[in-house]
């Protein structure tokens, strides 16, 4: 996994969230994975509020 830098983080995490949920991952597990991916692979990591916003947006579309 390459990760994402500023300017790419929101789009990248949105894609990952959608992929996790589409694959049938339980929402709680998908969120935990998304949060871990953000912390480990985004430079700098997005704040908790932004990650929450991304996840909620994708969860609504599901």
Check whether 55 has a pLDDT greater than 80.
yes
CA angle 10, 12, 14 (to 5 degrees): 65
7's tokens: 């300017």
Return d(Cα 48, Cα 16) in angstroms, integer: 16
Contact of 1 with 39, CB cutoff 8 Å: no
Whether the model clears a pTM of 0.85, i.e. scores above it, the answer is yes
Query: Model confidence over 2-22: pLDDT tens digits?
Result: 899 999 999 999 999 999 999
Four-point Cα dihedral 21, 23, 25, 26, nearest 10: 60
Terminal Cα distance for the chain, rounded? 25
Query: Model confidence over 19-46: pLDDT tens digits?
Result: 999 999 999 999 999 999 999 999 999 9
């Amino acid at each position: 996994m390459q990760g994402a830098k500023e300017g790419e983080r929101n789009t990248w995490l949105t894609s990952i969230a959608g992929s996790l949920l589409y694959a049938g991952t339980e929402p709680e597990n998908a969120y935990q994975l998304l949060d871990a991916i953000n912390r480990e692979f985004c430079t700098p990591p997005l704040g908790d509020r932004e990650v929450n916003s991304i996840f909620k947006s994708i969860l609504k579309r599901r």
